[in-house]
A and B are shown apart, each in its own frame.
Chain A
């Protein structure tokens, strides 16, 4: 695929052709031929969609919240893309992706695009492909992008790296987990969903307390809201709050700053992955090195020297 093909595919995606965007995402996700051209083309259009991150443990109601948010956004005429990320099985690489079930009433709406993505083994829960997919959504001129990830674990840490406004939906019993996972520092907004369930008020109080003792993010404390997503309650206010914060970030330049940082973080991460890939290829090409490693006597050779020798060999091989 040359640059012109890539541009063509993206303009079809921008014109609302579902299949063009879907193929573009697959090409990026699978690192198929043409990925670089697509990303370069997408970059030209980069920076229009408002990216909202939604995290929370399974069962906290992320998909219901997405579903309700989509409804509000569509009523305002905004085009919405959703990226729903679920973990893949560490053993088989397979994945079961069922998040879109709760959003199925939007299945026939042209202004909504939902894509499920498996983490494909990415440690943080979000793969590089997730960030790159957001670039494509941008290029396809969506107004709002929702990124859903499972939460508790490490994935929230990465939501910050791809979203303008990460939010979190704690579930009762999650508080300690949240503190451990460092969620309080990451999310800009907390939603207590299922606010009609017993114990919701206690949750509100607990999270409020945590917010007050946690450090502020650019001088702005996280917001705390409640909702009953399945009934659509509290969603308009949630959207209003998100939008206000987004506009504030635009005015005081924090948005641009944040996106620059994300860009840099992404480049760095990609570079790390590239380095690792090349090192693995190098080892693959130089099997004698592995045999040499195995031959070293465990008791007499230093662990560190062995490592050093391997890495040095790699560095020398790549600097002619």
Chain B
């Protein structure tokens, strides 16, 4: 009897699907014959065609599909989010990037942001620091303290976090090539203040692969650079358990002009490359994988960005479990910071950038990010002013407290469009993984210029679409205004460079030169012996060896690197 019932139920279902398909065909015919369409490019930013209408299909309506591919929040494969209650439990961290001038200037900005209710500190360093040069190096002329804070030695780190309790904040440091050295300074500072490393929370970006792929801020050749990253992963897993040693970043890949699909694929490929390097080092996957975190971009194509984050979580979980044998669910969870797309902002009518940033931030929230940075409207013109930063932070607060989008978990799940998009992005990312593997892996693809060429092609395509008017950018190729009033801009005090140079010179004067010499020799010895460099680095910064000196010592062992031109 039960069997019969089941059968008739199945028949009824079958009939309903047939009915639906007929209706759908009818609609499509009507649409083709009668519907009017604007002469616009119905393509998302990855160049994929978007259908006029998405609807239910048999595959996705099957509960087994739901269980395998979507699941529940906080459960494998985490398509719907890494926590059970998501923003009902805890809002995302509103993390704003800050850093300019000297350490004192940034320290003041940090304290201001803490007063404004910000949950985490995010540090931007100046170009010389990012490239491993001291402020008094000839390469640094004109760039000290401009794009971020200058950190030459432990003394600057002490100033930077003056009056801030290191065990009370979560600190993110956006630095890559010399990340191990700057992290060593942070650890040495904690040690000096008697704070146990176990209590430190934060993230070093430390994602060197995307530097070769997109941002171009590397110091050493790819292989020793990978070794340094692996050193930090190993050291964190043993001594600084709450630290995220690498923030695997798609943000810069996107800013360099990639599509959303490329951002997704290349970032995850980088992530897997770090996992494989750590496994080769002999680490247990569950000892380090839970501390790997991500950093994605959120661009203007609203649904595509949401789908990207959902697909990223699913791919990461699946591969970590099935390919790398991770058993701890924390290793399966892709936790991510998101920043709205700087490259989507325009110099024309800069106030309009507030609106762009708002939709991008909403996409990040609906995509389930763990922390979020919203760009200031004036970032395409200069470093942001305090007012512009405040508006950007308020944008997040409005989304969090006024819009109600936080009331339920993953509200867009089950949207025919979003689920179809999520699946398609996953497929396209996997096709890229295959291509990368065929060419010998991520390092080989960096060396042969594969990533760089893919990105340059996409960037050029995007530019042409704008120039030919196929893609409308408000204020740039449509709705332009002739005479634009200028907005207020932040000016960097030109004396910053001089003061910082004096400071690093003074440090060199008063420290124990002999101890520094010994420490640098030890760094070189450890590098030649392929030991984990962290202990030697911490010892060196402790005696006030400067970043530039340590980098120079390492260059003598590792050499430097110039990429092949991919234009």
Contacts and interface: CB of A to CB of B under 8 A. Distances in A.
Q: Touch between A and B in complex, CB under 8 Å?
A: yes
Nearest to B565: A98
B449 A101 contact: no
Nearest to A63: B564
Given A98-B565, A101-B565, A231 B559 contact: yes
Contact of B440 (A63, A102, A198, A230): A198
A102 B561 CA distance: 9
A134 to B, nearest CB: 24
B562 A104 contact: yes
B561 A59 contact: no
Interface in B397-447: 440, 444, 447
Contact of A99 (B447, B559, B565): B565
A230 B221 contact: yes
Interface string A94-131: 00101101101100000000000000000000000000
A230 B448 CA distance: 13
A63 B564 CA distance: 8
Contacts of B567: 96, 98
A59 B449 contact: yes
A101 B221 CA distance: 16
A64 interface: yes
Interface string A195-210: 0011000000000000
B563 interface: yes
A64 B563 CA distance: 10
B563 A101 contact: yes
> Chain A binding site: helix, strand, loop or mixed by DSSP?
helix
A102 B562 contact: yes
B440 A64 contact: no
**Interface size range on A against B:** 10 to 19
A59 B448 contact: yes
Contact of A102 (B444, B448, B565): B565
A69 B481 CA distance: 55
B440 A59 contact: no
Nearest to A194: B447
Contacts of A197: 440, 444
B446 to A, nearest CB: 12
Q: Which of B440, B448, B561, B562 is the most central at the interface, judged by chain A CB atoms within 10 Å of its CB?
A: B562
Nearest to A101: B565
Interface string B552-567: 0000000101111111
Contacts of B562: 67, 101-102, 104-105
A307 to B, nearest CB: 43
Listed residue (A63, A230, A231) with the most chain B CB atoms within 10 angstroms of its CB: A230
Nearest to A59: B448
A98 B448 CA distance: 15
Nearest to A104: B562
B563 to A, nearest CB: 7
A197 B446 CA distance: 14
A59 B221 CA distance: 17
Contact of A230 (B444, B449, B561): B561
A59 B564 contact: yes
A230 B223 CA distance: 12
Nearest to B444: A197
A198 B565 CA distance: 23
B471 to A, nearest CB: 23
A234 to B, nearest CB: 16
A96 B440 CA distance: 28
Interface in A167-219: 194, 197-198
B441 to A, nearest CB: 10
Interface string A291-308: 000000000000000000
Contacts of B559: 231
B65 to A, nearest CB: 40
A294 to B, nearest CB: 37
B440 A101 contact: no
Contacts of A99: 565
Contacts of B440: 197-198
A105 B555 CA distance: 15
Contacts of A67: 562
A64 B565 CA distance: 11
A64 B562 CA distance: 9
Nearest to A98: B565
Contacts of B563: 101-102
Nearest to B447: A194
Contacts of A63: 564-565
Contacts of B221: 230
A69 to B, nearest CB: 15
Contacts of B444: 197
Contacts of A231: 559
A189 to B, nearest CB: 22
A311 to B, nearest CB: 44
Contacts of B449: 59
Contacts of B448: 59
Instruction: Tell which of A59, A96, A99, A197 has the most Cβ of chain B within 10 Å.
Output: A59
A143 to B, nearest CB: 24
A197 B440 CA distance: 10
A96 B567 CA distance: 8
A64 B560 CA distance: 13
Contacts of B561: 230
Contacts of A98: 565-567
Interface of A: 59, 61, 63-64, 67, 96, 98-99, 101-102, 104-105, 194, 197-198, 230-231
Given A105-B562, A198-B440, 16 more contacts: A59-B448, A59-B449, A61-B564, A63-B565, A98-B565, A98-B567, A101-B562, A102-B563, A102-B564, A102-B565, A104-B562, A194-B447, A197-B440, A197-B444, A230-B221, A231-B559
12 contacts: A59-B448, A61-B564, A63-B565, A64-B564, A67-B562, A98-B567, A99-B565, A102-B562, A102-B564, A194-B447, A197-B440, A230-B561
The 7 closest A-B pairs by CB, nearest first: A98-B565, A101-B565, A96-B567, A98-B567, A59-B448, A102-B562, A102-B564
